[in-house]
Chain A
Amino acid sequence: MSTETLTATHTHHDEHAHHEHHEPSFIFKYVFSTDHKMISKQFLITGIIMGCLGMLMSLLFRIQLAWPDESFGFLETLLGRWAKDGKIDPNYYMALVTIHGTIMVFYVLTAGLSGTFSNLLIPLQVGARDMASPFMNMLSYWFFFLSSVVLLSSFAVETGPASSGWTVYPPLSALQKAMPGSGLGTTLWLVAIILFIVSALLGGINYIVTVLNMRTKGMSMNRLPLTIWAFLLTACLGLLSFPVLLGAGLFLIFDRSFGTSFYLSDIYLNGIGALTNSGGSPIMYQHLFWFLGHPEVYIILLPALGITSEVIATNARKPIFGYSAMVISLLSIAVLSFIVWGHHMFITGMNPFLGTVFMYVTLIIAVPSAVKTFNYLATLWKGNIRFTPAMLFAIGLVSFFISGGLTGIYLGNAALDVQLHDSYFVVAHFHLVMGSAAIFGMFSGIYHWFPKMFGRMMNNTLGSLHFWLTFASAYMVFFPMHFMGLAGVPRRYYQFSLIPEFGIWMNVNIFITVAAMLGGAAQILFLYNFFRSIFKGKPATENPWESNTIEWSTPVKHLHGNWPGAIPTVYRGPHEYSRPDRELDYFPQHEVGNGEPVHYEGPAEVQKTYATDNKESASKVFFSSFAHLFMLRKA
């Protein structure tokens, strides 16, 4: 089958050779492009713009939380009647929180991360000329773009954007009179999300088909870079779960506009009277929403983990530790993510027995996550680490993954969730493990594959500075929030100065806001570095990071069709770094070797030292790492 694909793409390429003489017009090169590399850039830049907007929104509501009783003139200038006398209106605060969440979860970390890197890397790393369906790929971007425009347009609505939280739980979101944002704003939110789902599905189908059918000769599944594994599983997750959100959204639209009662029952609304809706259940929406919502967390996180795996292996100059364990843990995380959604609903009044079931499966996810963490640590151990900005962000991701992952053990426990549900502890947890970790994965990918995208290098010094400032500020923002949550501070409160018990947290709130501003300022470094390097960066070489994967065998100048000649054949896995039998510390996948086995176990002496039949080896290696740690032994 693969030879058929190969010949098919060959003819495709030959056709291309004729077209290469005349450049496509501006519109088809930059706007309605079907080239996966251009589409990935479109996704990335839209994602960055949306990310900046989301971050600015968070700064606005952080100002409100830090100084609830002060007024800021610039807020009134900026927001007009939504910030009369320089104080943000409670409804607008809710709208900011809602749209911040929506933008970050869907538009930045789903489309911006997965859309960018799946598009860029899948064809390049599996060895294909383009996606299976370039046209669908283009549609995917334009649906995403349209969706972004619709979402942002809700800021121009008189009653304001959707403001019932990014989960838009009915009845609050279903009853147009329940709060101002539940009017036209929520309708636009729902339309935007439906367009987004269409985009995600068009993209996802494409990714799966491309990975499964268009791998180059020799690129068996066990030689796929971990990025591709992650993108493949992400696309599967999206394909299976996004349609459920589509259904939930449609039901909500029916309830809002056509008088159905899917989610509504027994409601008396102030100023309206008893509603006629009867027989529906708001809890049903939550089940449907979280059936997407939980896999969505992994839709966000898996690509980041995949990117990190490649970046860490490349920059530690070591094979990723336990390739098959990494794949299996990705796979089990993906499968488990479909049966744990109920841990968002322990205290909704759901049958307590279900609470038990969901607690069991939720805590099981911690096992593959722990395996991944240990494998990352083992990959760093005795490496030869190059601190490129990409590597720094990858290490940052692992740190966040540990910090945020551990707090998941509290929240996955139904008993503890009784106390911690919807508190600041939850905010801290998901901002670390899903927000910060995934955004660090995205930064890591941007710094690493920037030369591939734009043919130029980004500035490393600015990159490092960007990393350290962002890293420090993210911890300063989210770490204290754990303690606020544990002391009973609820999330989504517009101001804390009305409840005496929360007084002790006022200066912590100020600290968090200042740290968030520092983090925001650090992103200016990134934006400067990114946009300047596109035009004025140092020209890149073909393989600047001395990496093994085959995307680095394409020429620096982009070609429609990726490789000028035949697509390279792959001879080995992606992580053959620092092999003792080679002079160079890397061994590209497409380079012809001298017939070594598929799984190279290292030279005889290495095999002897760490052989699996050596009974002491496991514990010896594990504990010797502690010995190194406390400098008791020399490496």
Chain B
Amino acid sequence: MNTTTKNIFKLALVAGIIFFAASLISKSVDIHQLNIENYSAEKPLFGTDEYQYEAPKELPANDAVATRVKWSLLFFVIILIMVIANAFDISALTSRLTGKQAINSNNVNKWVMLIFMIVGLSAVAWEYSVHGKHVMLGDSASEHGVQLDSMFSITLILTTIVFVITQILLFYFSFRYSKKDGQKALYYAHNNRLEVFWTLIPAIVLTLLVLRGHQTWRSIVYADVDGTKSTNIEIFAFQFGWNARYAGDDGILGVADYKFISGKNKLGLANPAEVDSLLVELIAALIAEEAAVKALPQTIEQLQKDLQAAKDLQDNEAMSSITKELEEINNGDRMDDLEASINRKTKQIERIEAIKKDPKVFATYFTKAEEDDVITQELHLVKDKLVTFKFRSRDIIHSAWLPHFRVQMNVVPGMPTKFTFIPTKTTKEAKAENGETFDYYLYCNKICGTSHYNMKMKVVIETQEEVDAWLKTQQMAFKAMPTPVAVPAVEILPDSATSTKDTTAKKLALK
């Protein structure tokens, strides 16, 4: 056998085995057979929406598919390793037998280069045709998304062309110009004209892309600069969930502030009655904490007594928990926590009082616009109507991502952000395209803690009438509230700094 026949034989062998393995995989990796139900065995741990998944009731038929995938992949891997190892062995063996130069790994590598190029590019083509269907989740469901998608398509086509050409050149050159005995490389150090040529071409192409991108970007971010054309909806993010707030009949979102957040007033709206009852709560908590600080020596005594009792009863569980608590008190952690909490609450009361005291500031906060605001767990939007999301975070940075609408914006505590767009496809239309189980969602897309992966809100696009009807079924923030509790008139002395928090708390408490 001469080298060419040998090489062709090797090539055919390797290609055959790889194709065999590939066909096995492509048979088993049939995404249309798979249903999500089989993979969602657990209920969500967190999340505010009512969408829950049930564990599969019977053994899913597709388990067999999954197992086949696993085994065929493993098989593929083993075959691949064997083929490469054999290729090396064969060449080593033949060279020993023929007495020619020891391993010519250069030739093996050269052929693997070519094979890798062919198999790799076929795999890329397969990816484009199979997974490419899901790219950008079908047509955009928003107006600016159409422009964004066309920008994407242009970039995709350009980069794919460049990708294919450059990768082919790279692997083909490696294959074609591999070492041959007696051959010398071409001494060719530079060619200015050529270099200018391939500097200018990318520069021109990129300039065109940038200009187009600039246009698209402007159309997205400057959709409603002065904020007069669109309906405002507040999107409120917290660990780990979302709320939407609608402006109600007056069309104005009431003022909200993190200082006003309480158990009942989860979004911290500036409602006088709510804020007053929050003050009452805070003062009561302050008194309790002050008392706890004073009572620390007694607490220690009591705990020691309990510990003795637990020892007598040989209750190990109680003993360890009491010891832990004692340790917490003795090393000062408890005291630190209480002091920090007192400090926080004093500051919060001071700040709220400052707002209440100054009539001008008071007027900017308490506008009564919040009374008819509607707070919801789902987001319902009107089709073909400009909407502006006003984002607000309670605790840390979240990011609201609505992939079907090409909408994404970070939600930053202490810094209001917004996004304006027009949804163009109702949920009904989307269901008709994607199946009955389909729903739009808003995901959290900035790492935000333990349950980041399940922080989502259902989004529904409807007609104006449907949204209005739905809003009526949702509760208004304060209209249905009971009459406000009587609040003691609280006054803080101007010199009440943090150092005198004990006395401040007392004064607050007394009044």
Chain A residues bordering chain B, tally (CB within 8 A): 147
Contact with B along A344-371 (1 / 0, CB 8 A): 0001110010011001100110110011
| A-chain residues with CB within 8 Å of residue B451 when the two chains form the complex | 90
| A-chain residues with CB within 8 Å of residue B84 when the two chains form the complex | 465, 468-469
Q: Which residue of B lies closest to A406 (CB)?
A: B159
Q: Which residue of A lies closest to B214 (CB)?
A: A356
Contact with B along A316-327 (1 / 0, CB 8 A): 111101111100
Contact with B along A484-509 (1 / 0, CB 8 A): 00111010111111111111101110
| A-chain residues with CB within 8 Å of residue B238 when the two chains form the complex | 270
B151 → A minimal CB distance (Å): 6
Is there an interface contact between B409 and A349, defined as CB atoms closer than 8 Å? yes
A612 → B minimal CB distance (Å): 5
Q: Which of A172, A413, A603 has a CB less than 8 Å from the CB of B397?
A: A172
Instruction: Give Cα distance in the complex from A358 to B216, angstroms.
Output: 15
Q: Which residue of A lies closest to B391 (CB)?
A: A349
Residue B243 is within 8 A (CB to CB) of chain A in the complex: no
Residue A288 is within 8 A (CB to CB) of chain B in the complex: no
Instruction: Give Cα distance in the complex from A452 to B394, angstroms.
Output: 58
Q: Which of A178, A283, A419 has a CB less than 8 Å from the CB of B406?
A: A419
Instruction: Give Cα distance in the complex from A510 to B74, angstroms.
Output: 11
Is there an interface contact between A280 and B449, defined as CB atoms closer than 8 Å? no
A486 with B135: in contact, given A402-B167, A475-B120 (CB under 8 Å)?
Answer: yes
Is there an interface contact between B177 and A316, defined as CB atoms closer than 8 Å? yes
Instruction: Give Cα distance in the complex from A33 to B155, angstroms.
Output: 52
Residue A629 is within 8 A (CB to CB) of chain B in the complex: yes
Instruction: Give Cα distance in the complex from A276 to B459, angstroms.
Output: 34
Is there an interface contact between B174 and A355, defined as CB atoms closer than 8 Å? no
Residue A281 is within 8 A (CB to CB) of chain B in the complex: yes
Is there an interface contact between A325 and B195, defined as CB atoms closer than 8 Å? yes
Is there an interface contact between A488 and B404, defined as CB atoms closer than 8 Å? yes
| Interface-centre pick from A406, A465, A490 (highest chain B CB count, 10 A) | A490
Q: What's the count of A-B pairs with C-beta under 8 Å?
A: 435
Q: Which residue of A lies closest to B119 (CB)?
A: A472
| Interface-centre pick from B31, B132, B147 (highest chain A CB count, 10 A) | B31
| A-chain residues with CB within 8 Å of residue B189 when the two chains form the complex | 319, 321-323, 575, 599-602
Q: Which of A281, A367, A511, A518 has a CB less than 8 Å from the CB of B414?
A: A281
A467 → B minimal CB distance (Å): 9
Instruction: Give Cα distance in the complex from A170 to B70, angstroms.
Output: 40
Residue B470 is within 8 A (CB to CB) of chain A in the complex: no
| B-chain residues with CB within 8 Å of residue A500 when the two chains form the complex | 36, 40, 53, 437, 439
Is there an interface contact between A464 and B105, defined as CB atoms closer than 8 Å? yes
Is there an interface contact between B170 and A395, defined as CB atoms closer than 8 Å? yes
| B-chain residues with CB within 8 Å of residue A493 when the two chains form the complex | 452-453
A350 → B minimal CB distance (Å): 9
Is there an interface contact between A416 and B213, defined as CB atoms closer than 8 Å? yes
Is there an interface contact between A514 and B202, defined as CB atoms closer than 8 Å? no
B193 → A minimal CB distance (Å): 4
Is there an interface contact between A268 and B190, defined as CB atoms closer than 8 Å? no
Residue A133 is within 8 A (CB to CB) of chain B in the complex: no
Q: Which residue of B lies closest to A489 (CB)?
A: B403
Is there an interface contact between A510 and B70, defined as CB atoms closer than 8 Å? yes
Is there an interface contact between A360 and B409, defined as CB atoms closer than 8 Å? no
Is there an interface contact between B186 and A318, defined as CB atoms closer than 8 Å? yes
Q: Which of B34, B401, B414, B417 has a CB less than 8 Å from the CB of A490?
A: B401
| Size bin of chain B's contact surface | 35 or more
Stretch touching chain A among B2-10, B109-117, B327-335, B473-481? B109-117
Residue B20 is within 8 A (CB to CB) of chain A in the complex: no
Is there an interface contact between A318 and B109, defined as CB atoms closer than 8 Å? no
Is there an interface contact between A265 and B395, defined as CB atoms closer than 8 Å? no
Is there an interface contact between B127 and A483, defined as CB atoms closer than 8 Å? yes
Is there an interface contact between A497 and B40, defined as CB atoms closer than 8 Å? yes
A515 → B minimal CB distance (Å): 8
Stretch touching chain A among B217-225, B245-253, B292-300, B363-371? B217-225
| B-chain residues with CB within 8 Å of residue A398 when the two chains form the complex | 170
Is there an interface contact between B453 and A418, defined as CB atoms closer than 8 Å? no
A499 with B456: in contact, given A171-B413, A172-B449, A384-B180 (CB under 8 Å)?
Answer: yes
Stretch touching chain B among A219-227, A559-567, A618-626? A618-626
Is there an interface contact between A356 and B41, defined as CB atoms closer than 8 Å? no
Is there an interface contact between B191 and A348, defined as CB atoms closer than 8 Å? no
B229 → A minimal CB distance (Å): 17
Instruction: Give Cα distance in the complex from A268 to B257, angstroms.
Output: 10
Q: Which of B42, B123, B131, B170 has a CB less than 8 Å from the CB of A498?
A: B42
Q: Which residue of B lies closest to A87 (CB)?
A: B42
Stretch touching chain A among B342-350, B376-384, B483-491? B342-350
Residue A260 is within 8 A (CB to CB) of chain B in the complex: no
Q: Which of A419, A487, A511 has a CB less than 8 Å from the CB of B73?
A: A511
Instruction: Give Cα distance in the complex from A629 to B166, angstroms.
Output: 11
Q: 24 A-B Cβ contacts within 8 A?
A: A94-B452, A267-B395, A268-B394, A273-B341, A274-B258, A278-B414, A283-B415, A348-B412, A370-B199, A371-B198, A383-B185, A385-B179, A386-B179, A403-B163, A415-B151, A464-B108, A464-B109, A469-B80, A498-B40, A504-B34, A506-B36, A510-B70, A514-B74, A629-B169
Additional A-B contacts beyond A172-B447, A399-B167, A469-B80 (9; CB < 8 A): A273-B341, A274-B348, A319-B187, A402-B167, A496-B453, A507-B29, A606-B188, A622-B194, A628-B176
Q: Give chain B's interface residues, CB within 8 Å of chain A.
A: 29, 31, 34-36, 39-42, 44, 53, 65-66, 69-70, 73-74, 77, 80-81, 84-85, 88, 92, 103, 105-106, 108-110, 112-113, 116, 120, 123-124, 127, 131-132, 134-137, 147-148, 151-152, 155, 158-159, 162-163, 166-174, 176-180, 183-199, 202-203, 206, 209-210, 213-214, 216-218, 220-222, 238-239, 257-259, 261, 268, 341, 343-345, 347-348, 391, 394-397, 399, 401, 403-404, 406-410, 412-417, 437-439, 441, 443-454, 456
